[in-house]
Amino acid sequence: MTKLPRVIKDTGNIPTPARYDIVLDVLRATGQFNSAADRAGIPISALKRWRENDTSFDARCEQAREAYADTLEREADRRAVQGVEREVFHRGEIIGTKVEYSDPLLMFRLKALRPGVYRENNKIEINSVNVTGETSVSIIADIDAIFKK
């Protein structure tokens, strides 16, 4: 587990290099802006202003969150492909271990990496038609029924 940087205790909302570093470190470790603001000792509104006023810092925040997303993807891949070792119990006693794999994680990764092959293909074709009154209500009902399938 990544050790998070220390919390800055003073109450000022002034951006400093040390606070920037804390925010970026926490974003790399958690991906969460609220946690980053808490660790830097500032309200989330101050962090939002910093990002709005400093495009370079904002870009570094996004890079830090991308790094966190990469970490999550590596972990999802590990759990889906290599699996996770779990203890096996019998009558309250550990009798061994087994490796469990995550099929849902594997499917999510395949959909992300090869959407043309693995995404759900819901295709709706609507031709332009002039409709009024009850006809339009009927068409809307038909469209609603398609989406509920």
Whether residue 6 is predicted with pLDDT greater than 90 in this model: the reply is: no
- Residue 27 falls inside a structural domain: no
Nearest to 47 by CA among 72, 19, 28: 19
- Residue 34 falls inside a structural domain: no
- Residue 111 falls inside a structural domain: yes
- Residue 86 falls inside a structural domain: yes
- Gap between the Cα atoms of 111 and 109, Å rounded: 5
**H-type alpha helices, 1-149:** 17-30, 33-40, 44-53, 55-77, 103-113, 115-118, 134-148
- Residue 105 falls inside a structural domain: yes
Q: How many domains does the chain have?
A: 1
- Residue 92 falls inside a structural domain: yes
Q: What is the pLDDT of residue 116?
A: 86
Nearest to 31 by CA among 86, 59, 71, 77: 71
Condensed to tens digits (0 to 9), the pLDDT of residues 7-64 reads 555 457 888 999 999 999 999 999 999 999 999 999 999 999 999 999 999 999 999 9
127 pLDDT band, cuts 50/70/90, is: low
pTM: 0.66
Indicate the average pLDDT of the chain: 86
Q: What is the pLDDT of residue 143?
A: 78
Instruction: Look up the domain containing 109 and give its range.
Output: 81-118
- Residue 108 falls inside a structural domain: yes
Condensed to tens digits (0 to 9), the pLDDT of residues 86-103 reads 999 999 999 999 999 999
The fraction of the chain above a pLDDT of 70, given in percent, is: 81
Q: What is the pLDDT of residue 4?
A: 62
- Residue 146 falls inside a structural domain: no
